[in-house]
Homo-oligomer: A and B are copies of this chain.
Amino acid sequence: MSDELNARLRAIVGAANVLDGETDMAPFLSDWRGRYHGRARAVVRPRDTAEVAAVVAACAQAGVAMVPQGGNTGLCGGATPLADGAAVVISLARLDRVRALDPDNDTLTVEAGCTLAAVQEAAQAAGRLFPLSLASEGSCLIGGNLSTNAGGVQVLRYGNTRDLVLGLEAVLPDGRVWDGLRALRKDNTGYDLKQLFIGAEGTLGIVTAAVLKLFPAIRTRATAWVAVADPRAAVRLLGLLRAACGDRVSAFEIVGRTALGLVLRHIPGARDPLAGAPAWTVLVELSDPAVDAPLEAQLEAVLGEAVAQGLASDAVVAASVAQARALWALREDISEAQRIEGVSIKHDVSVPVSRIPEFLERAGAALAARWPDIRVVAFGHIGDGNLHYNLSKAVADDNATFIARTAEVNGIVHDLVCELGGSISAEHGLGQLKREEVLRYKPALEMELMRRVKQAFDPAGLMNPGKVL
């Protein structure tokens, strides 16, 4: 049976594109961080939608499960096959064409296997911006961004991936192709089916192409690093900025002292932009397509007002592109600095922006009561109510014991997130990692509705089993 299916797959995509040896398959069987390890009966590499459709139809007819895979950069194991080895991995990497650019419609039609960076470049070449931006943009694939509804550093201004999509093409679990590649800003002719595939992590079908929205290229930026009195002051500062500058506020990232301290310790050349080691700092960016937009003046005016109101105590506005880059590097290097420092228990949570201060106070207090020497690395997109909240102990031996208590730690953090009306996965998805955890927090009725949708689209349960649901 296995041989028969593999033979069919080889007939569809060519023998060179069906991998079934251990070594060949290895890169597709664990995630980039090496946290998840699975097995597969084969890895198939179709080159276009028709091949994906034929591969899926063959697997469906054989009753074999499928795991769609993009750049394999996810953080929750959504693209790694399970250990049972029963599934075929379908890599979308060869579907890497930009199918169409329509500058007058501000749209770009791309295949799932384009890297996010390639999509950004195609937009840039047309004098436009595709605003989705995240750390792995050089290697993640747009199909994975769509399937996880990726977030990133410009959500405040442009929304999540979901908000950047006008149309989708997807291969359904039975191998039929749904052509929803419409390039329309308005279409009220029934249920908006594309919304189901976005963020479904490949459990309802395989996204093969999308029509993406483009935006005017950004020609002016102003960037500042601001010492704020506390997270409450940060939220107020965001309010001042939004009221004065509207959507020119394109990033608003909080960085706690512990997080910045790790960067200063581990990243060569990193310099603290402010004196006095403030407990909380914020990276602010304004941006505008107008060449002569007076962003620096606007930013300085708001920061002056924030200082007058006691919200901010100090700030530096980047005087050059190089300085702005250096400020951004401090934010972006946090993940790398944490990796060097050692293992931590990571959370990707969101609450309403207004509840961020309460979350930080109460989570910090609850954790410190249990583990007095806990180290909290808190940073992230607080303009979106999204924090990366990572916990460890400074001493390696202590830390191993602490890490063993992950379930207990998660319980404290996630219970509070839930109480504050938040989400236990703001931008990373559920994958394998949070599939069980979500059952503690999502209403049973909502899980039931999700299962009904799954049943409606994938009655045989062959699409990415063991993920999300």
Contacts and interface: CB of A to CB of B under 8 A. Distances in A.
Interface of A: 102-107, 127, 148-149, 151, 155-156, 159-160, 162-163, 172, 176, 178-180, 182-193, 195-196, 198-200, 204, 215-217, 235-236, 239, 242-247, 288-290, 298, 350-355, 381, 384-386, 421-430, 434, 438, 441-443, 445-447, 449-450, 452-453, 455-457, 468-469
A187 B468 contact: no
Nearest to A380: B186
A186 B350 contact: yes
Contacts of A445: 172, 176, 178
Nearest to A103: B239
A199 B193 contact: no
Residue of A179, A452, A457 most packed against chain B (CB within 10 A): A452
A243 B127 contact: yes
Given A188-B149, A288-B246, A446 B193 contact: yes
Nearest to A239: B104
Contacts of A216: 242-243, 246
A106 to B, nearest CB: 7
Given A149-B192, A195-B195, 14 more contacts: A103-B354, A127-B243, A151-B186, A186-B350, A186-B384, A188-B199, A189-B441, A190-B199, A190-B438, A191-B449, A191-B468, A246-B288, A449-B456, A449-B457
Counting from the closest, the 5 A-B pairs by CB-CB distance are A195-B195, A104-B354, A187-B423, A246-B289, A186-B426
Contact of A185 (B200, B217, B384): B384
B425 A189 contact: yes
Contacts of A469: 190
Contact of A456 (B198, B215, B422, B455): B455
Contacts of A102: 352, 354
A432 to B, nearest CB: 14
Given A184-B385, A187-B423, A452 B442 contact: no
A450 to B, nearest CB: 5
Contacts of A148: 188
Contact of A353 (B105, B156, B384, B446): B105
Given A216-B243, A217-B243, A190 B457 contact: no
Contact of A452 (B103, B288, B456): B456
Given A193-B446, A193-B450, A468-B190, A155 B290 contact: no
A436 to B, nearest CB: 12
A179 B445 CA distance: 9
Residue of A187, A290, A298 most packed against chain B (CB within 10 A): A187
Contacts of A243: 127, 216-217, 289
A384 B443 CA distance: 37
Contacts of A457: 449, 452
A179 B449 CA distance: 12
B246 A290 contact: yes
Contacts of A425: 187-189
Given A244-B289, A290-B244, A352-B107, A385 B449 contact: no
A199 B190 CA distance: 7
